Chains A and B, each alone.
Chain A
Amino acid sequence: MNILAYLIEHKDSNIGNFLRSTDLRNALGVVAQFEVQNGQILPVDFTENLKTSRGVRQNGAIIQFGLMHHEIKGVYDRMQHLLKRVDAGKVKIF
């Protein structure tokens, strides 16, 4: 999606226009999850984000770790800023 937007010179950098931004939410909203089972704390498959405004969340036997919504937006914003600096030649890449 990002490369397609680039190819058609899509200038609107609205976060909703980029598939990668959605990936950011999926990839960083929940980064680890555990469940208390029979006296053990076990890693389990991720479920939906229990609370986007908290980094460590708990619901019943589930313990979930992830980035908060504003932290994910911060990652996205810094990525855009970095890309602009690269495009402007202010950051060298190799």
Chain B
Amino acid sequence: MTKLKYCVLSLFAFALTTAFAQDSNILHTIADLEHRLQFEKFEVFRQHDARFEGDMAKTLIVRWSDQKVMRAKLKRAAYRGQATNNEPRYEIAAYRLQKLFLDPEEYVVPPTVLRSMPLEEYHKIEPYAVQLLTILRPCSSSSSTGWRTSIARKSTKKSALNRILCTRSIWET
């Protein structure tokens, strides 16, 4: 019996910080960036805490399956996907809002998605994270926009959302 451990919901966003990252990220269309962030597997080539040691937000250099390398930022979501100063839905809303009046080449908010991953996999990034559902947020170069969310795994609260997540956490094959 293999336990399929907790799925991590991550919100992802790219930051174009260094010249290296700019050069690599800018070669891709918005659609391609969104698709990679949302669906494609990646490995973490390098990482560091975004703003200070122990920061939940991480700046990553990720390598995709086609060996292309990009810089991204992510942050675990808070318990149940939202918390004060940790609202990944705001990050996505900001990204989507600009789509109403800007052309892709004019975007000022980097592509940002919500993404899930197994906790085992996420432990490669943050070994002691115990969240069941983690939503990654965006990253940005100088300030911002990276984030991620998470929903705690061992909650005793009985909300429907939590039950669903807990159900997933004990999923077995």
Real binding pair: yes
Binds A, one of B45-53, B66-74, B109-117, B121-129: B109-117
- Nearest-Cβ distance from residue B62 to partner chain A, whole angstroms: 18
Q: Mark A36-55, 1 if CB is under 8 A from B, else 0.
A: 10011111000000000001
Contact of B116 among A34, A65, A75 (CB under 8 A): A34
- Nearest-Cβ distance from residue B120 to partner chain A, whole angstroms: 13
Chain A residues contacting B26 (CB-CB under 8 Å) are: none
- Whether B93 contacts A58 by the Cβ 8 Å rule is no
Given contacts A32-B92, A65-B88, contact A43 B114 (CB under 8 A): yes
Indicate whether B7 reaches chain A with its CB closer than 8 angstroms.
yes
How many of chain A's residues have a CB under 8 angstroms from any CB in B?
23
Chain B residues contacting A61 (CB-CB under 8 Å) are: 164
- Whether A34 contacts B173 by the Cβ 8 Å rule is no
Given contacts A27-B97, A43-B115, contact A55 B9 (CB under 8 A): no
Given contacts A36-B164, A55-B82, A63-B164, contact A31 B92 (CB under 8 A): yes
- Whether A39 contacts B93 by the Cβ 8 Å rule is no
Chain A residues contacting B171 (CB-CB under 8 Å) are: 39
Residues on B close to A: CB < 8 A?
A: 4, 7, 9, 11, 38-39, 80-82, 87-90, 92-93, 96-97, 99-101, 113-116, 133, 135, 159-161, 164, 167-168, 171, 173
Closest 4 A/B residue pairs (Cβ):
A39-B171, A32-B114, A41-B116, A58-B161
